[in-house]
Amino acid sequence: MQITKNIKFAFTTALFFLVAVPGTFLFFKISIYLAPFIIAFVISTSIEPVIRFLMKKAKISRKAAAIITVFSVVTVIGAVLVLLTIRLYKEAVSLSQMLPEYANTLYRNINEFAGKFLKFYTTLPEEISISIENMFKNFIQAFMLFLNSVAKNILSIAVLLPQVFIFLSATILSTYFFSSDRTGILNFVRENLPENWIDVLLRIKKDIFMTLWGYVRAQIIMAAITFLQLFTGFYIMGIKHFILLALILSLLDVLPVLGPGSVMIPWAIYEFFAGNLKRSVAILVLYGIALTVRQLIEPKILSKEIGLHPLVALMSLYIGFLVFGYIGLIAGPVVVLLFKNVVLKKKSIKEFISQSKL
């Protein structure tokens, strides 16, 4: 009997992962196209207490409360984005005015460096000189590719502006519809789904939202820590616009593909060729510290925010990344939490097996 129950549990576990892993991956793939509606649902759920408060205290209908709340949220977020955009525009104009001076300084220092290097280069054996020449050619090609990619990304952002407008419009309207007719939508779901399905879906929804919100909170905490490190480092180094620069790089730290290294490493290379060796080394050291701290604290913060042991969280992140790519950084913990709460139902494996005997 014990063996039968163990086999049953093993079969249930295997079946769960066979369904959950591709299902979670498919969900995240589809969510790219459903992003406005998913974001709208999350926002409407978040502002639901405010809507109920207005309905109770102001004695107004749900639709009126939804209009007031959604309009207020959009206004506040829009005002913040406009202020940030204006600030970034001013900083970009200031930077563009200084770029010619930076370019001339860089060109002059590269020529001086090349002149000194050529004297040393002519005394080297032929094999070594060829290797060094190839290395410099590869470096120049890589740097030019990087500049081209930056230019293309800037152009692609400009092309995406109409899509961004449509995305925001769909999100705002969907938020209103979810908030104004929340009761009707929930009743429709309850009437058209079996009761046991609803229980499972509610558990899954709770786990997914807990994981996503925990992941967002963890990223905010880690970005704040990165900001404090960069803010302190840039202030000590005497860099202009250190607050804005630290903010932008800490936001880049949230993006797994880019990160602050996409700016700080080319910046350090520029400072090296500009003759600022100390600043170049300081930038690389600061980047190394920020990167090391993030690698050390990420598993612990994620485990605390999404409710998993640090080792389990680290394994779910690593395996999720290997299986799904960057989506797996979220999908991995989601699958583990679903297994914990849907299959084990917040019990240990030993308790699950022992209770299955009853």
Domain boundaries, the chain: 207-263+275-357
Closest to 334 measured CA to CA, from 311, 309, 317:
317
The Cα–Cα gap between 177 and 185 comes to 10
User: Tokens 């591709």, residue?
Assistant: 22
Q: What is the pLDDT of residue 289?
A: 92
Integer Cα distance of 273 and 108 in angstroms: 9
Count each helix (H run) and each strand (E run) in the chain, helices first.
13, 0
Helix axes 277-306, 328-338, angle to 10 degrees: 20
Contacts of 269 (CB under 8 A, 6+ apart): 143, 280
Mean pLDDT by 10 residues, the chain (358 residues): 61 69 72 83 87 88 90 88 76 64 65 62 64 66 61 57 80 89 80 71 69 77 90 87 82 74 83 81 91 84 73 77 75 74 54 44
Q: Return the C-alpha torsion angle 289, 294, 296, 297, nearest 10.
A: 130
CB 70 within 8 A of CB 172: yes
The enclosing H or E element of 162 equals helix 161-180
Cβ(265)–Cβ(290) below 8 Å: no
pLDDT of residue 240: 76
DSSP code per residue over 5-60: HHHHHHHHHHHHHHHHHHHHHHHHHHHTTSHHHHHHHHHHHHHHHHHHHHHHHS--
Give the single-character DSSP code of 325.
G
As a whole number of angstroms, the distance between CA 309 and CA 53 comes to 37
Q: What is the pLDDT of residue 229?
A: 92
- Whole-structure pTM value: 0.56
Phi-psi region of 59 (alpha: psi -120 to 50; beta: other; left: phi over 0): left
Q: 284 near 264, Cβ under 8 Å?
A: yes
